[in-house]
Amino acid sequence: MQAERIALITGGSSGIGLAIAGRLIREGSHRVVSLSRSREKIDRALTLHPELEGRLEFMTGDVSDPDECRRVARELESRHGILHALVNNAGIVAWGGMEATDNERWDRILGINLSGPFYLVKALLPLLKKAGNASVVNISSIASKSPGTSVAYSVSKAGLDMLTEYLAGDLGPYGIRVNAINPGLVKTPLHLDNKVFEDEPSYLEMIEKAPSRYPLGRIGRPEDIASMASFLLSDEASWITGSIIKVDGGTTLQNDLIPPKDA
């Protein structure tokens, strides 16, 4: 009988992270541990998805703090002794170019979005090596490829893509695969939780206008990213590492030179 596979998902109590956790649980492929910064988000997840009670383990911790990452590694080792899958999904976002981004915001965004995955992989490496065939999936963004509305967010995700490629080469000899997913706009609580918009109506107005930028005619759903993450964590992707995969509804292909279709 195959031993139980253990997965840790950061930012796993909402949005994309929670969708990935739910998918892995429904598939029965992994026992899932969700890492969240706040107990409030964990309680919200269980209120919205009571079916996960008892099926999804929760831990709290701040990935931007290396001491916290080491504590999480110790707790995970105590609980399970091994780690087969890691999804670095925890992230924050904020609008603003150079003049609007102060040093504190810069440090906070890069600390969670870029330093966090580095600290966590470093802390969890002994458990990942023990698995012999572990998979790490970093949730990046198409903002890594084209400067967008946030200098800190774009730079953090570009760095995450390079970290992905470097770790793939560095950790491959241990049987650890490392890949990244670059989503386009996905409707999640991320923008409202980070107060990027003044209120929910202004956020929903943006969501309503956004599909015009997508050749497939809609923005993303958390499940769209979860399906790719599930594949990359599975043995079906056993010869894929160092890949940066766009899951963006074609928005990065959109340009004025492609002839419009008749209505």
What pLDDT score was predicted for residue 129?
Answer: 98
Work out the number of other CB atoms within 10 angstroms of the CB of residue 204.
13
d(CA 190, CA 213) in angstroms, rounded, equals 20
Query: Please, are residues 57 and 32 in contact by the beta-carbon 8 Å criterion?
Result: yes
Active site residue 174: no
What pLDDT score was predicted for residue 239?
Answer: 98
What pLDDT score was predicted for residue 38?
Answer: 85
d(CA 251, CA 145) in angstroms, rounded, equals 12
d(CA 49, CA 57) in angstroms, rounded, equals 13
Two tokens, residue 210: 């956004």
pLDDT, one tens digit per residue, over 39-89 is: 888 998 898 889 888 999 999 999 999 999 999 999 999 999 999 999 999
What pLDDT score was predicted for residue 194?
Answer: 63
Class of domain 6-195+222-246: alpha beta
Question: Tens digit of pLDDT per residue, the chain (263 long)?
Answer: 456 899 999 999 999 999 999 999 999 999 999 999 888 889 988 988 898 889 999 999 999 999 999 999 999 999 999 999 999 999 998 889 999 999 999 999 999 999 999 999 999 999 999 999 999 999 999 999 988 789 999 999 999 999 999 999 999 999 999 999 999 999 887 766 766 777 778 778 888 999 999 999 999 999 999 999 999 999 999 999 999 999 999 999 977 767 777 75
What pLDDT score was predicted for residue 95?
Answer: 85
Give domain limits for the chain: 6-195+222-246
CB burial class (10 A; 0-12, 13-18, 19+) of residue 98? exposed
Query: Please, are residues 148 and 96 in contact by the beta-carbon 8 Å criterion?
Result: no
d(CA 159, CA 110) in angstroms, rounded, equals 9
130 three-class SS:
helix
User: Pick the catalytic residue: 119, 153, 174, 214?
Assistant: 153
What pLDDT score was predicted for residue 1?
Answer: 40
User: pTM value?
Assistant: 0.94
DSSP 34: E
SS3 annotation, 102-115: CHHHHHHHHHHHHH
Among 168, 153, 173, 170, which residue's Cα sits nearest to residue 232?
A: 168
d(CA 161, CA 166) in angstroms, rounded, equals 9
For the chain, the residue count is 263
Per-residue CA distances from 163 to 189, 200, 231 (Å): 26, 34, 21
pLDDT, one tens digit per residue, over 125-139 is: 999 999 999 999 999
d(CA 85, CA 131) in angstroms, rounded, equals 9
What pLDDT score was predicted for residue 203?
Answer: 77
What pLDDT score was predicted for residue 263?
Answer: 55
Tell me the helix, strand and coil percentages in the chain, rounded to 5.
50, 15, 35
